[in-house]
Every structure is written in structure tokens, then in C-alpha cells.
Amino acid sequence: MKKEIDQVTGTETTGHVWDDDLRELNKPLPRWWLYTLYATIIWAIGYWIAYPAWPLVNDYTKGVLGVSQRATVTQKIEDAKKAQSSSWALLESTPLDQVSGNPELLRFASASGKAAFGENCAPCHGRGAQGFTGYPNLNDDDWIWGGTIDDIQTTILYGIRTDHEDARSSEMPKFGADEILDRKQIGDVTEYVLSLSNLSTNAESSARGKELYAAQCVACHGENGKGNTELGAPNIADSIWLYGSKKEDIMQTVHTGRGGKMPAWESRLDPLTVKALAVYVHSLGGGK
Amino acid sequence: MMTEHVEGQCHDSSVVTTYDVEAVNRKDDRSLYASRPAIYPKLAHGTFRRLKWILMAVTLGIYYLIPWIRWDRGPDLPNQAVLLDMQHERFFLFGLEIWPQEFYFVTGLLVLAALVLFLVTSVAGRVWCGYFCPQTVWTDLMISVERFWQGDRNARIRLDKAPWSLEKTYKKVATHVTWLLIGLATGGAFVFYFADAPTLLRDLVSGTAAVEAYVFLGLFTLTTYGLGGIAREQVCIYMCPWPRIQGAMVDHDTFLVGYREDRGEPRGSHRKDQSWDGRGDCVDCKACVAVCPVGIDIRDGAQLECIQCALCIDACDDIMQKVGRPTRLIAYDTIANQDAAKTGEIAKPKIFRARTLVYLALIGLVSALMLWALSQRSLLEANVIPDRNPYFVRLSNGDIRNGFALKILNKLHEPRTFKVDIENLPNATLRIAGQADGDQTVKVPTDVLSEVRIFVVVPKDDAMQLASHGHSFNFIVRDIESGRITRRLSTFRRPSQ
């Protein structure tokens, strides 16, 4: 290749020409720059030897330092568990109703419970435990099966209406579907139920419904509609409606009954996690 | 063979020594790819050299001794006056304790320092570079170490030219070992700012200190050795941005180290019996070049390379006294005065001019702001965060409940009790999670961030009267002991129906 020499400086050019006469002098790289390049090459070779680097067919080069990010993560999780172990032990030995007496333990259990809640309970109850239609809001003070911390733990462990032998269960009769009440009677009973929380708009119908209520509903829901947590009969005189407070919602309930299921977590979560969950749910603000 | 006496034309040799020296870093000779020519600064004697020795002692003294100053803060707190406690996220500066969220105090100090730097530069040029910059101070120290082991300028030039011998090896090794020891002391002092100095020193010596301490010790040893001993003026010329920036602060009324061309030119060697008529005072002895630590010739005019250390003033004054001419041929002078001098006039220095007044005003403003912030600095930080999921909870009796997280930061070193209240929310009741109804006190242990959950309940009818997009109300956090009140605005939300 012919060397082109720049006339002014007497320096060799790269041969590249722009805009007719603009040439680039072929100057050497700055020495510090060049040496840095060599240093990085040597560093890279050292890195290949020391760290996992090259993919093989079924494997990869492990490096002499034996560094593995997977192992590091596993180790870190182990360490974290070890660091928590004394708190878990304390939670295990503390009776459930006394957890709240120890602020430190309460904080630990609530935080653990919150994490478990996000993983296991949030799909139905919502991330903030705010609930949805048919899935109870766990922040409020209305508890179908009882809101003491023990009740909550029982519910989580065995579920509601599950196959578990300790599960609690109840059935709202299908007054309409099973033709116990006719359509008009269902309307009347609904008006009466609405009147318990001052939502009724038809006093006459409500008065007729009162008799039907006394005959059919009072056994479970009680004389004033306050419900019964032993039987899982909801309070129907308060402001909280699991399936909606509109007339058609309630008529639907009376007609076909309801029977939402809460899974039993005893077989899926360890008892300590359930304990932490109970503490967390109880601490949301509505626990009794 | 190098000699300080040059040939026969040096007629005044008994009084004036003329140096056989070329400015190795002369303006005309600089190229992008220049490799570093060795510079052998000669020891200067005079006002500015003395000033620089004093300032070196003061600045190095401050750096090395500050970690050892003790400051009693009471039990459980470090008793080191200046401690950057990374582990506990606290900066201790004598009586002041800075938390991470108050880092703006440090930012304010840095802004203030920058403004003072601007002011000083606009008044007297690169005073920072010439006297205070760690690079200058340590380089000066390293050069004096070199001078101690290898002798002054000529002896060093001779030594470098001489073939390797036992003597040369010993002198060179001694120099570099001393440099490394200085580096070690520098790194040592640095790590003491981050941990209790006496403890750390014991740990460092016994090999039980944290790995980080050794890493930083090694890093600072090597950078001190490398930047101060080896790289020297190259740091100022090639690495430091300040020489480029400082030009923006310098104007015609800035005092700069400069050569009085009107007096000096035409330069030339001078015989004792020669008349001074028709010639300048500069006898071209190049003493100014010989002492220059960056290897320039100040007579070329203002240059980016010049760190304004003023050693050339000392060197030239020495010569001027010997030849019986007025001193300060090289002097701190303004460009305006140098220009005026060409026509025989004198330009009075204008220290108070628009530029310096603006810097002064800014310094005053920032200082006032910082003092104000410092006086407003609260020893309590309270934060209220409303629940976002769910915004509100309808209770069985229809009342509406909102949940809040209240975070209280207690910066005092004693536990405090606060009473939480609400205002501007009709008929609201307040309950703290985990506490009995009516117990509205929060106990915050010393020196921590404490978080409690607060439930605020508003009766159904009152709640529905509130703004549907959220009602603003205040939390009141009262320090029971001092009675001091902190208010925090928050929002109460209700369902749309």
C-alpha cells in the first residue's frame, strides 16, 4: 500500500479523504490509552480463568474461584432465614392471643404475614385485603365466622365449606329454587331485610316480610338480623353486604342461597405462616 | 557536565548566577503527544516560599490531626469530633450531627466553598492551585523529599544522568520509599475519618481492621504516591478541569503572578559595570524557570499550566536584589496595570467590582440560607402516609375508617413521648393500632425512626358531608415534654355513596 504523506506536517495520513481535501493524519494512539487496552485484554483473560465465562455444550466453564450467583442467592436466603430463626421460634412459643403484647414480635409476625398474604390470599381478597363482591373485606369489623384472632386462624387453617373435618360450614337455603317461598314472598322478605338497615322503600311489603322472616330466617340470622358467628350466619342489619345491598342482590341471595368457599390452608402452609397470617389479618383494623 | 556557570559572557558571575536551563515545557514546544520531560524544580528562598511552607504545615496538620480531635457527645455516641459514620448513616461535625436526609447541609457547604473559590479566583487568581490544593501541597512535599535525598536541582540532574551505582540506587530507593510512607500516612489519615481513630489504628496495626479500611488505605497510598510523587504537574495540566474553568473568573483586574514586560524588556545578560539605560531589568538568568514546579517560563505570559505558586517571584526578587534593581519584576499584578504600565501609567486595582460583588452577594445569600435552614432544623420529623389500598373501610355501623402510617423520627439522644391528635375533621375518633382506645401516645426510642398505624373513624353522617374527592385535615404531633407541636396535613377519603 502506498503511503500518503501530508505535505504540511510530513506525517503519514490514513488515506481517507473527506470534502475533497480533508485528510486524517495517521497519528499513534495515546500510549496510556493503548496500555489500558492491553491491560483490559489481560484482565479479561484473568477473568475467564477466575469466573464462569464460556458456554460449553451441556455445561460452562466454572472458573477457579467457584463463583456462582445461584449459590450466592441460596446462601443469602439461608442466612436470612437463620437471622429470622429466633423470631420464628419466639412466634412459635408465644400463644396466638399474646403476640400483640410484644411489639417487636407483632411487627415481625405482621410483616411475615403480609408477605404470605400477598402470595396466597391477595388473588381473592385483594392486595389490601379490601375484598370483592363475594370475597370478604378483611379490614372491616364485620366477621361472618368470628373476628377474634383464634377465629381467624381457624378459618385460615381449615377454610369454610371445605372437605376438611374441622372446617366450618353452613348453608343458606335456596328459598326460591327449592320452592320454599314464592316470588312475591321473596320480595317481601327482602323488603324486611332492607328495613333492618333502613333501606326499605315499601313499608307494606316489609310488614308482610317480617312474618316470613320470623318463620324462616330467625333461626340463623336472629331476631334483629344480627346474625350468628357460630353458625356463619351474616349480620344482615349492618352496612356491610358481601353480595351487595341492592334489592336484586338480596333477592338473588334468598332465591338461590350463597355458599362461598374459603380453601383450607393447613395442608398448603406451615402452621407458623398461618399464625403470622392470622396476626396480620387481625391487625388490619377490624380484629376483635 | 552540567554547570550553573555558563561561558565567559556571564560577566556578573560573582553576583548573579545564570542558569543553563531551557524551559522544558515551553509554550511553543507543546504538542498533543508530548511525553513528559523531567522537571527539576530548584529550591526558592523568599516570602512566598516561606508562606508555602507555613501553609503546607497548616493544611497537612489539619488533614492529619482532625480525626484525632475528641468531642464529648455523651454516652453511646462517638467521641470523635469529625466522623463520617457510614455504618450508622450519620455525619458528626463537632456539635452538628447530620442525618442522611439532611445531606443538603453538606451540599450547601460545597456550594459555599465553590463560591468562595470563585471569589478568591476573581480577586487573586489561582490562589487555591498555588497554595491550598492537595495536589500542590503533596507535590511540594514529595519534591522536598526528593531534594532531601538527592539534593537540589543540579545534583538531581547529575544523578539522573549518571550510570546506576550503589549511591544512585540508594538515593532513588530512599526517595520512593519515603514517598510511599507519606502515601501510607495519607491513606491512614483518610480512613480515620470514617471510624474511631484510636480503635482503627490499633486494628490496622494488628491486622484486624475491616477489609475496606485496608483497601482504602492501599488506594490512597498508591494515589498519593502516583499523583504527588510521579505525575505531579501533569495532574494540573492534563487531568484537572479547574485550570480550564478558572479562566471564566479571571479578568483584567485580577491579581495574577506575571512578568512586568515594561520593566524587563529588552532582556539580556548584564555586566556589573554596564549601564541599565536602554535595556530592561531582566538579566535573562532564568532563575524563574529553574524554580518552576510546572516547567514553564513565566515571561511567556499567562498560561494554563501556571498554578500561580509565586515561587518565581521569590527567585526573581533574589536576583534583582543582587543586581541592585527594584524587586517584583515578577509580581502579583493585574493585567490592567500591566497594560497601563506600557504607557507609563498606573491602573489602580479594583477589588470591589461587579464580578466580586456578585460573588460576595451570592456567598451572603447562601450563608444566610444555610443559617436559616440550620435554625429551622427540627429534631423531630413526622410523616403521615395514608393507606392507598384500601383508601377507606366501611364499618358495620356505616362509619368510615381511614388508615394512616405515622412515621416519627427522633433525632434526640433520649426517648420521647408524643401525643397524636387530629384537627379539622368533625367528630372523628382516633385509635392507634395495638393500643387501647383513648391511648393516643406514641413512645419513640432514642435515635430511631418509629412507625405506628393510626385508624381514624368518622361517623357515617359526618363522613358523607366531607368532600368526595378527599377532605384535608391535620395530624398534630405534640412532644409531651417540651409541648412543641408539629402539624402534618393529610387527607380523609370516603366512598362516593
The region of weakest confidence among A16-30, A246-260, B319-333 is A16-30
The C-alpha angle B320, B321, B326, rounded to 5 degrees, equals: 60
* Peptide bond connecting A28 to the previous residue in cis, omega within 30 degrees of 0: no
A240 interfaces chain B, CB cutoff of 8 Å = yes
Closest approach of B85 to chain A, Cα-based (Å): 24
Chain B touched by A128 (CB under 8 Å): yes
Contacts of B433 in chain A (CB under 8 A): 283, 285
Interface touch A139/B393, C-beta < 8 Å: yes
* pLDDT tens column, B2-46: 444 444 454 555 678 788 888 877 766 655 555 678 899 999 999
- A-B contacts at Cβ under 8 angstroms: 58
Please check whether residue A127 touches B, CB under 8 A. Answer: yes
- Say which residue the cell 405462616 belongs to: A273
In the structure, what pLDDT confidence band is assigned to residue B446 with cuts at 50, 70 and 90? confident
What are the grid coordinates assigned to A142, written together?
A: 364485620
Q: Model's pTM, two decimal places? A: 0.66
Give the closest-approach CA distance of B397 to chain A in angstroms.
Answer: 6
Give me the pLDDT at residue B354, please: 92
Task: Give A239→chain B minimum CA distance, Å.
Answer: 5
Give the residue-averaged pLDDT of B203-215: 89
- Determine the pLDDT at residue B11: 53
Q: What local confidence, expressed as pLDDT, does residue B7 receive?
A: 47
Confidence of residue A1 (pLDDT cuts 50, 70, 90): low
Percent of chain B surpassing pLDDT 90:
55
Note whether A127 contacts B434, CB cutoff 8 Å. Answer: no
The closest alpha carbon to A277, from A76, A139, A56, A121, belongs to A121
CB atoms within 10 A of CB B265: 14
Look up residue B135 and give its amino acid. Answer: Q
Is residue A137 within 8 angstroms of chain B, CB to CB?
yes
Substitution target in A32, A196, A235, A239 with the highest count of B β-carbons within 10 Å is A239
Interface contact flag, A285 B433, Cβ < 8 Å: yes
CB contact under 8 A, B401 and A106: no
Which residues lie closer than 8 Å to B153 by C-beta, 6 or more apart? B40, B41, B42, B43, B290
| Residues of chain B neighbouring A224 (CB-CB closer than 8 A) | none
Partner-chain residue, chosen from A126, A128, A141, that has the shortest CB–CB distance to B395: A141
pLDDT at B433: 84
E strand spans, B271-362: 330-334
B chain contacts of residue A285, beta-carbon cutoff 8 Å: 393, 401, 403, 433, 453, 455
CB-facing half-sphere around the CA of A259: CA atoms within 13 A:
12
What pLDDT is recorded for position B339?
87
Q: What is the pLDDT of residue B8?
A: 46
Cα separations (Å) of A169 from A244, B299, B396?
Answer: 22, 102, 23
| CA dihedral over B457, B460, B466, B469, signed as positive or negative | positive
Chain B residues close to A100, C-beta within 8 Å: 434
What is the pLDDT averaged over residues A162-171?
A: 91
> Please, are residues A286 and A141 in contact by the beta-carbon 8 Å criterion?
yes
| Average pLDDT for B54-82 | 90
pLDDT, tens digit (0-9, with 9 covering 90-100), for B303-318: 889 999 999 999 999 9
For B101, which DSSP code? G
Cross-chain Cβ contact A239/B389 below 8 Å: no
- B437: DSSP letter: T
CB contact under 8 A, B393 and A100: no
pLDDT value for B33: 57
* Mean pLDDT calculated for residue range A59-71: 90
Q: Report the residue of chain A nearest B399, measured CA to CA.
A: A239
Q: Report, as an integer, the average pLDDT of B64-81.
A: 87
Identify from A139, A229, A241 which residue to disrupt to test chain B contact, counting B C-beta atoms within 10 A and taking the largest count. A139
Hey, is B228 helix, strand or coil?
helix
pLDDT tops 90 at residue A174: yes
Q: Are the beta carbons of B486 and B378 closer than 8 angstroms?
A: yes
pLDDT band at B445 (very low <50, low <70, confident <90, very high): confident
Q: How far apart are CA A267 and CA A157, in angstroms?
A: 8
pLDDT of residue B27: 66
Nearest chain A CA: its distance from B307 CA (Å): 24
pLDDT at B153 over 90: yes
Q: Which residue of A has its CA nearest to B456?
A: A285
Interface contact flag, A130 B393, Cβ < 8 Å: yes
Interface of A with B in 51-90 (CB under 8 A): none
> Cα(B333)–Cα(B218) distance, rounded to whole angstroms?
43
Q: Return d(Cα B404, Cα B453) in angstroms, integer.
A: 6
Residue B14: the pLDDT is 67
SS (H, E, C) chain A: CCCCECCCCCCEEEEEEECCCEEEECCCCCHHHHHHHHHHHHHHHHHHHHCCCCECCCCECCCCCCCCHHHHHHHHHHHHHHHHHHHHHHHHHCCHHHHHHCHHHHHHHHHHHHHHHHHHCHHHHCCCCCCECCECCCCCCCCCCCCCHHHHHHHHHHCECCCCCCCECCCCCCCCCCCCCCHHHHHHHHHHHHHHCCCCCCHHHHHHHHHHHHHHCHHHHCCCCCCECCCCECCCCCCCCCCCCCHHHHHHHHHHCCCCCECCCCCCCCHHHHHHHHHHHHCCCCCC
pLDDT value of position B34: 57
Distance from the Cα of A183 to chain B's closest Cα (Å) equals 29
